[in-house]
A and B are shown apart, each in its own frame.
Chain A
């Protein structure tokens, strides 16, 4: 009887399991699969939110491909990466090396950097908008000590650099700790051997340290590329995409196209293209930079 009882329980339990799974599936039918179908419909129709969608084939595709603002935003992603990747890599590498040499207060320092990562995008964007403003504290400091000011947000060339500095501020702690976890895993014996061979510090950096943290570096680059394509709050709040569209990023263009120009079909198609391009960018980066490092 007892065995029968447990069997009965088992049957009941697998039904409960299936019921729980079905609740998750139903949720996803409504809030994931249905929008997915709409995504396909939107990309091949002409629609302005109110009228009936009319089939337009590849028309949206050609319009988007010929939209200079869209391409400008893709170009802006490349410009952003041009500033962001070298700055954030140098800073987080420096942070990771520095952290290795700290005896006391390691936790305090790491948390001071990480708190920038766990914070509200709207709040810090507003703060940096004020700090970078033409009469803000940064320019006041520069004027007092060095006698010049920098048009952080009002010059088309500087604005993107300023945005990437803000994003660097946010992510250095996170990326730095990822790299740090790679650094502490490198066996000391390798450095001892290099010491015996009188290896120069720079050679050690490029021949031992960087190859040994290849996995962590690639991970940071994947994050950096994802951030570059998905950035919205910072340019929306700080520059509004300007000056002269110099910080107009893809999500801003998608937002504008869908909700100000009421062209949701084109905006949906832009989102698909941006997602594919970012996927491709990550794929290419990994192909060129990812190495399988093994200790023999």
Chain B
């Protein structure tokens, strides 16, 4: 009886209407992305005056960003490189440091471990905005304003990353580690050849969320970076838009460049993103 009851509503007309409605809404939610891509492929004067899929399609806006924008002191290609450099460095550093320290927190007994664990949890509840201005003061005292270090150093380690990885590592049976130790495996080997492959999902989650967070970070680089040659794409695009906002085509082409890496990552690794948000689709 129960089972039949659960199956029946799936086939009523009402649920068909809901399904169709949900598809329409899903397309509506994608509309800003579709509009952004189409606008980036049209000459600026046509963007507001042609239908979504009509009008001349050209790569001129992208060509403008990569060729002519440099003359306006807006080196887009370079900022794309900066974004990748900063984001990959931070992600790499956070994953490695979280794996080692997370292992220590989960599997090694040492004095003060409990206190450090409490500190990490306390750190996670203090909102970042409170420390932003004093952190700027520190970066200024260190003479790091307008350097890559200003955007990389303060986020090279992450309490959240350590916490996530330690939680997951705790679930790996000690027998595996003891067996590896009997084979004279070094700490590096235990972490990279044993713990990381066994806890692949959580390492992927830490890497993906660190990547998207760093790529998307806007306020901090806006504060510490005024040198156009070292700006990440997000900040360069914002300053370009403030000055040349009427050039809708190039601005949209820049937005595509800024959004595309994250959208691709999301599509490829959707499983881990869902898991990381602790969501599931049953």
Contacts and interface: CB of A to CB of B under 8 A. Distances in A.
Interface of A: 9, 13-18, 20-21, 23-25, 27-28, 30-32, 34-39, 42, 49, 95, 98-99, 101-116, 118-124, 126-128, 130-131, 135-137, 140, 169, 172-174, 177-178, 180-181, 184, 188, 192, 230, 232-233, 236-237, 251, 254-255, 258-259, 264, 267-268, 271-272, 274-275, 278
Interface stretch (B58-66, B154-162, B198-206): B154-162
A127 B255 contact: yes
A28 B120 CA distance: 10
Given A98-B21, A275-B129, A9 B219 contact: no
B212 interface: yes
B18 A42 contact: no
A16 B108 contact: yes
Contact of A102 (B19, B132, B136, B265): B19
A111 B26 CA distance: 9
A98 B130 contact: no
Interface in B18-33: 18-19, 21-23, 25-27, 29-30, 32-33
Nearest to A257: B133
Interface of B: 2, 5-6, 9-10, 14-15, 18-19, 21-23, 25-27, 29-30, 32-33, 35-36, 39, 47-48, 52, 97, 100-101, 103-105, 108-113, 116, 119, 123, 126-127, 129-138, 140, 153-154, 156-157, 162, 181, 187, 212, 215-216, 218-219, 223, 234, 237-238, 241, 248, 251-252, 254-256, 258-259, 262-263, 265-267, 270, 273-274, 277, 279-282
B273 A114 contact: yes
A107 B281 contact: yes
B2 A127 contact: no
Nearest to A104: B19
Is chain A's interface secondary structure helix, strand, loop, or mixed overall? helix
Given A21-B110, A35-B137, A180-B279, 15 more contacts: A9-B181, A20-B101, A23-B97, A27-B156, A32-B131, A98-B21, A108-B26, A111-B266, A115-B263, A118-B273, A119-B263, A122-B237, A123-B255, A123-B258, A188-B5
B266 A118 contact: yes
Contacts, number: 243
A127 B109 CA distance: 52
Given A18-B110, A123-B36, A268-B133, A24 B238 contact: no
B259 A131 contact: no
Nearest to B10: A103
A130 B248 contact: yes
A224 to B, nearest CB: 15
A35 B138 contact: yes
A234 B215 CA distance: 16
A112 B112 contact: no
Contact of A39 (B105, B116, B130, B258): B130
Given A21-B116, A121-B218, A126-B255, A237 B263 contact: no
A98 B18 contact: yes
A264 B138 CA distance: 13
Given A17-B110, A122-B237, A24 B116 contact: yes
Contact of A122 (B32, B52, B258): B258
Contacts of A136: 48
Closest 4 CB pairs of A and B: A17-B108, A35-B134, A38-B134, A112-B26
Contacts of A118: 212, 262-263, 265-266, 273
Given A31-B138, A115-B33, A21 B259 contact: no
Contact of B252 (A127, A174, A268, A272): A127
Contacts of B126: 275
A127 B262 contact: no
Given A120-B259, A127-B252, A140-B48, A20 B104 contact: yes
B6 A254 contact: no
B10 A101 contact: yes
A119 B32 CA distance: 12
A172 B134 CA distance: 34
A102 B10 CA distance: 7
A98 B129 contact: no
Contacts of A259: 223
Contact of B35 (A35, A137, A180): A137
Contacts of A121: 216, 218, 234
A56 B75 CA distance: 44
A28 B154 CA distance: 9
A259 B133 CA distance: 10
Contacts of A113: 26, 29
A276 to B, nearest CB: 9
